[in-house]
């Protein structure tokens, strides 16, 4: 086509969304014939459909590696750059994205078309402004036209996936990353369309149609969308700014960033770009990169890759030599070895190949076979084995691939079972056989096999589209969101099933647990908040019905939640309805209804509060009756003041207190008062004053729960039921809770106070049995302490607290103790005990 070098050459340069491709289509359709070369099969297919709408299917051809639509009278051709028929004459020729001549992998193809593809009447080169210096060097006569972008492109910064605006495209650089982002969008936003260069046009078009129709608001794609694919995208978010280019992982160039970001905005609508905000992530845009992208200022290209476009086919060696020839122009660089040349070199080392490849026709045939793309990405060595088998058939007999073998290979792929990855692999393999079927002289009946491979690819493509939709689109959420926008929140019908499932317009979005609406985990995303709010607003009738059921329910339906580390709460039929907070005293906590009950009317809330208060009162009277009795007696004026002086601090302390701070009150009560106290269940022990009935597990749980509510704190851990001796906890709050529960600290251990009292009584009985004065030294039997799990150091602490002091014993004898009398409390200890165990202030946990 170089014979038309004298025809006008126009280079239309500019950023994305400048209408360059649209201009080329208009110019081509204005000529009697024309051809445009594109960087992607998908883009060629998109433009083909546009030209067909203008010129008619019988006049338009589509030629790509694995797809060929070539009507007999076709005059306008849409091709991939590699598939442009360079031996045909066209009035108009254009090359799109010509700056790809700088791409190490495919650049030599674009450079060759840039230098050799010419139209009889007009040639047009489309590309980035960065191509300008290359054109000045290589095509100095070209008229360079600069076109400004139609709309503004603005940096929007990083954004979480859940905060991306609708009509966003998220760009990733591996299939794994594309799938991961699409899966997150399914959970967060109802789904996403998926577009990758490896998809067949049919699958890609079906996915894009979902996005364009608004069935999903998000698109996840590889950088294939940067090559002119036109979609209604308002924002482009980069999942990463690094890609693997076949050799290494590298950061995108500014030009690559701009090419992709430029897909945001269409015609006169402005667009934005940014990155996905990943927690702990790095690698956002630099300020210089943002400025360059927004202002469309990029470093000019200083070289293009080149390989001989018209090689020497006189022999295999001549072919290889011509393909490895170095370019003459200073701005051209020899292209890195592509896979077709690598395969050719491997086959050239085979004796049978050299024996068969004699003459120009067979050398050309060998080179055509080596041009079979590695759609499966297997690498040069495995791919060369497939090419070798194909060439063996092409170089013998009639020069055709056996139909039986071809049919068997297609049959292996004819299955729609499997997941996304499996179907994608089958389509890649099907593309290999489709490429072969579209070689005019490789098969005995190429038209038949081209149709068979087309049907196979469409079948697999439809299955892949279905799998992608099943995997990455939550139809329920997508439909609900569309109905929400069309009909409004309040128009959506809300129903509640017997099991509590809440449905909006027939779609389950969560369940009502007690009075709490719990959203389905698939419905928890930003847009669904309005939907859930609508459900909650429409659930008023159901909540009122449940409130009435609660008020009428029996006591067994209620329970006290005392899980450690949480505020004490009341549950109704297994669901939280209220929390306990500080009231006027320990036994009458304040009941604060759970926030979910805010939706009830004031009279309903009061009725619920009153019912819960009655239940608390009943349980306190049932479980803590002795404590409730002395608490009431402490306020009864008919009870002697001296006895009330004992009852009041003991009730305030929860029915258990150290004896020392109460000595003054105990000294003021006479024999009859002592009997009354004993009748009320009070034990005046040697070390502690307590109500033994309150040491049982359930009363202990309630006492600690009410104390936690009185302190506006959280429930502490409970001692193990029935435990006699405990390890003294290092945590001060747990230590205080165990003491409040009824355990006396004895150094590294704590002993339940009723058992400490039993040991005290045994020790004093033994003391008195040793002599009349009771002051003779004696050795207590350690068996009982040992049976309680009390270690000797802790037992020694107890003996000291009882008023005994150790004395020297003969070698090998058990320790002896001598009575010195109970220690008088210090003035600071002669105080009325507070809400907590007052004696804790004088004790050290690990003495």
pLDDT at 843: 40
Please tell me the predicted confidence (pLDDT) of residue 296: 83
**Residue 279 binned pLDDT confidence (cut-offs 50, 70, 90):** very low
Say what the pLDDT of residue 765 is. 82
- Whether residue 304 is predicted with pLDDT greater than 90 in this model: the reply is yes
Tokens for 763, please give them. Answer: 């020790």
CATH number of the domain located at residue range(s) 2-146 in this protein: 3.40.50.300
222-233 pLDDT, tens digit each: 877 766 566 788
- pLDDT interval class at 243 (50, 70, 90): confident
pLDDT computed for residue 534 by the predictor: 57
> Which band of pLDDT confidence, cut at 50, 70 and 90, is reported for residue 845?
very low
Length of the chain: 847
With cut-offs at 50, 70 and 90, classify the pLDDT of residue 828.
very low
Q: Indicate the average pLDDT of the chain.
A: 86
Question: Mean pLDDT across the stretch 696-711?
Answer: 94
Question: Is the pLDDT confidence value at 817 over 50?
Answer: yes
* Count of alpha carbons within 13 angstroms of residue 139, beta-carbon side: 26
* Residue of 162, 161, 41 lying closest to 170 (CA atoms): 161
pLDDT at position 616 over 90 = yes
DSSP structure string for 252-270: PPHHHHHHHHTTSSBTTB-
Confidence of residue 152 (pLDDT cuts 50, 70, 90): confident
pLDDT given for residue 823 in this prediction: 56
pLDDT digits (tens, 9 = 90+) for 628-668: 999 999 999 999 999 999 999 999 999 999 999 999 999 98
The string of pLDDT tens digits covering residues 434-467 is 999 988 889 998 889 999 998 998 999 999 988 8
Please report, in angstroms and rounded to a whole number, the separation of the first and last CA atoms in the chain.
100
Least confident among 90-99, 291-300, 510-519, 662-671: 510-519
Q: Please, which pLDDT band fits residue 697 given cuts at 50, 70 and 90?
A: very high
User: DSSP states of 208-260 as a string?
Assistant: HHHHHTTS-SEEEE-GGGGSS-----SEEEES-SEEE-SS-EEEPPHHHHHHH
2-146 and 153-295 have identical folds: yes
- Residue 593 is given by DSSP the state E
The predicted structure's pLDDT at residue 491: 52
Sorted by where each begins, the domain ranges of the chain are 2-146, 153-295, 304-471, 491-538, 560-738, 750-842
pLDDT for 829 equals 41
Give the 3-state DSSP-derived string for 499-545, with helices as H, strands as E and coil as C.
CCEEEECCEEEEEEECCEEEECHHHCCCCHHHHHHHHHHCCHHHHHH
**Rounded to an integer, what distance in angstroms lies between the CA atom of residue 821 and that of residue 243?**
85
pTM greater than the 0.85 cutoff: no
Reduced 3-state DSSP string for 631-669: HHHCCCCCCCHHHHHHHHHHHHCCCEEECHHHHHHHHCC
Tell me if 47 sits within 8 A of 36, measured CB to CB: yes
Distances (CA, A) of 535 to 482, 491, 510, 519, 576: 16, 11, 9, 10, 20
> What value, to the nearest 5°, has the Cα angle with vertex 328 and ends 324 and 332?
80
Percent of the chain with pLDDT over 90: 52
For residue 518, with 0-12 CB atoms within 10 Å meaning exposed, 13-18 middle and 19 or more buried, which class applies? middle
Burial level of 522, CB count in 10 A (0-12/13-18/19+)? middle
Structure tokens at 7: 């025809």
Q: What is the pLDDT of residue 847?
A: 36
Q: What percentage of the chain has pLDDT greater than the value 70? A: 88
- Is the confidence at residue 86, as pLDDT, over 80? yes
**How far, in Å, CA of 433 to CA of 668, rounded?**
107
pLDDT at 837: 40
Instruction: Give Cα separations from 409 to 376, 391, 447, 645, 671 (angstroms).
Output: 14, 16, 17, 99, 107
Say which CATH architecture domain 153-295 belongs to: 3-Layer(aba) Sandwich (3.40)
Say how many C-beta atoms besides its own lie within 10 A of residue 841's C-beta: 12
Supply the pLDDT for residue 36: 97
Whether the pLDDT of residue 356 is over 70: the answer is: yes
CB 704 within 8 A of CB 710: no
8 A C-beta contact, residue 246 and residue 127: no
Residue 810 pLDDT > 90: no
Element (H, E) at 626: helix 625-633
Confidence (pLDDT) at 190 = 76
| pLDDT score recorded for residue 426 | 92
Q: Quick check: 497 and 508 in contact, CB under 8 A?
A: no
Mean local confidence (pLDDT), 412-421: 90
Shortest CA distance to 461 belongs to which of 33, 42, 103? 42
* pLDDT 10s digits, 324-346: 999 999 999 999 999 999 999 99
Q: How confident is the model at residue 169 (pLDDT cuts 50, 70, 90)?
A: very high
Q: Give the three-state DSSP class for 172.
A: coil
| pLDDT tens per residue, range 507-542 | 676 777 888 877 766 554 544 555 566 566 667 788
Question: Above 80 in pLDDT, residue 626?
Answer: yes
Give me the pLDDT at residue 632, please: 93
CB atoms near residue 746 (< 10 Å): 25
């Amino acid at each position: 086509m170089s014979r038309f070098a004298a025809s006008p050459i126009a280079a239309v340069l500019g950023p994305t969304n400048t209408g360059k491709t649209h201009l080329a289509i208009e110019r081509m359709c204005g000529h009697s014939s024309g051809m445009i070369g594109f960087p992607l099969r998908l883009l060629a297919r998109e433009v083909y459909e546009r030209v067909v709408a203008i010129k008619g299917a019988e006049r338009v051809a589509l030629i790509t590696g694995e797809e060929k639509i070539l009507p007999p009278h076709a005059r306008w051709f849409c091709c991939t750059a590699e598939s442009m028929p360079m031996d045909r004459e066209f009035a108009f020729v254009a090359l799109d994205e010509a700056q790809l001549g700088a791409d190490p992998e495919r650049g030599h193809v674009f450079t060759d078309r840039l230098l050799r593809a010419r139209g009889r009447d007009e040639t047009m080169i489309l590309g980035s402004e960065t191509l300008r210096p290359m054109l000045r060097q290589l095509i100095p006569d070209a008229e360079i036209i600069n076109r400004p972008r139609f709309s503004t492109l603005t940096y929007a910064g990083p954004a979480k996936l859940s905060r991306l605006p609708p009509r966003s495209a998220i760009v990733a650089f591996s299939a794994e990353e594309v799938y991961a982002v699409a899966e997150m969008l399914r959970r967060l936003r109802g789904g996403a369309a998926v577009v990758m260069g490896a998809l067949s046009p049919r699958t890609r078009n079906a996915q894009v149609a979902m996005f364009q129709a608004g069935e999903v608001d998000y698109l996840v794609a590889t950088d294939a969308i940067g090559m002119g694919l036109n979609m209604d995208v308002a924002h482009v978010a980069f999942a990463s700014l690094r890609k693997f280019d076949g050799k290494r992982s590298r950061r995108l160039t500014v030009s690559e960033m701009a090419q992709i970001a430029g897909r945001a905005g269409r015609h006169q609508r402005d667009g934005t770009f940014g990155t996905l905000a990943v927690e702990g992530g790095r690698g956002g845009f630099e300020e210089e990169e943002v400025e360059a992208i927004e202002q469309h200022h990029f470093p000019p290209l200083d070289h293009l890759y080149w390989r001989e476009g018209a090689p020497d086919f006189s022999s295999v060696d001549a072919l290889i030599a011509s393909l490895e020839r170095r370019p003459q122009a200073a701005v051209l660089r020899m292209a890195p070895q592509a896979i077709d040349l690598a395969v050719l070199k491997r086959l050239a080392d085979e004796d049978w190949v050299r024996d068969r490849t004699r003459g120009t026709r067979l050398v050309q045939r060998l080179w055509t076979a080596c041009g079979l793309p590695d759609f499966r990405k297997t690498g040069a060595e495995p791919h060369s084995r497939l090419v070798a088998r194909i060439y063996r058939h092409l170089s013998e007999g009639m020069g055709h691939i056996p139909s039986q073998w071809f049919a068997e290979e297609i049959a292996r792929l004819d299955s729609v079972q499997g997941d996304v990855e499996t179907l994608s692999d089958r389509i890649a393999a099907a593309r290999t056989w489709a490429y072969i079927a579209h070689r005019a002289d490789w098969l005995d009946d190429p038209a038949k096999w081209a149709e068979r491979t087309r049907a196979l690819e469409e079948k697999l493509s439809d299955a892949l589209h279905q799998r992608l939709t099943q995997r990455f689109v939550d139809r329920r959420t997508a439909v609900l969101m569309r109905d929400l926008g069309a009909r409004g929140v309040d128009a959506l019908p809300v129903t509640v099933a017997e099991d509590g499932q809440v449905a909006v317009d027939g779609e389950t979005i969560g369940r009502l647990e007690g009075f709490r609406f719990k959203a389905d985990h698939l419905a928890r995303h930003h847009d669904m908040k309005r939907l859930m709010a609508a459900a909650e607003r429409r659930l008023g009738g159901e909540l009122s019905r449940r409130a009435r059921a609660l008020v009428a329910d029996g006591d067994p339906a209620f329970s006290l939640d005392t899980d450690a580390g949480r505020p004490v709460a009341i549950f109704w039929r297994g669901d939280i309805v209220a929390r306990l907070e500080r009231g006027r005293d320990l036994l009458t906590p304040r009941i604060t209804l759970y926030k979910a009950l805010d939706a009830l009317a004031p009279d309903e809330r009061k009725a619920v509060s009153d019912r819960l208060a009655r239940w608390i009162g009943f349980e306190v009277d049932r479980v803590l009756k002795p404590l409730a009795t002395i608490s009431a007696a402490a306020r009864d004026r008919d009870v002697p003041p001296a006895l009330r002086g004992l009852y009041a601090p003991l009730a305030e302390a929860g029915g258990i207190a150290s004896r020392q701070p109460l000595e003054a009150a105990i000294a003021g009560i006479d024999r009859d008062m002592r009997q009354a106290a004993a009748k009320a269940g009070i034990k005046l022990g040697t070390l502690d004053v307590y109500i033994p009935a309150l040491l049982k597990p359930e009363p202990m749980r309630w006492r600690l729960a009410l104390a936690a509510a009185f302190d506006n704190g959280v429930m502490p851990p409970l001692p193990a039921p029935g435990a006699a001796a405990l390890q003294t906890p290092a945590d001060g709050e747990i230590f205080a809770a165990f003491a409040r529960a009824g355990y006396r600290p004895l150094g590294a251990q704590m002993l339940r106070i009723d058992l400490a009292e039993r040991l005290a009584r045994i020790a004093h009985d033994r003391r008195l049995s040793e002599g009349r004065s009771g002051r003779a030294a004696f050795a207590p039997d350690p068996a009982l302490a040992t049976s309680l799990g009390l270690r000797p150091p802790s037992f020694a602490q107890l003996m000291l607290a009882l008023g005994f002091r150790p004395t020297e014993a003969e070698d090998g004898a058990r320790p002896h103790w001598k009575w010195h009398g109970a220690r008088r409390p210090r003035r600071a200890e002669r105080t009325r005990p507070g809400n907590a165990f007052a004696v804790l202030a004088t004790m050290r946990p690990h003495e």
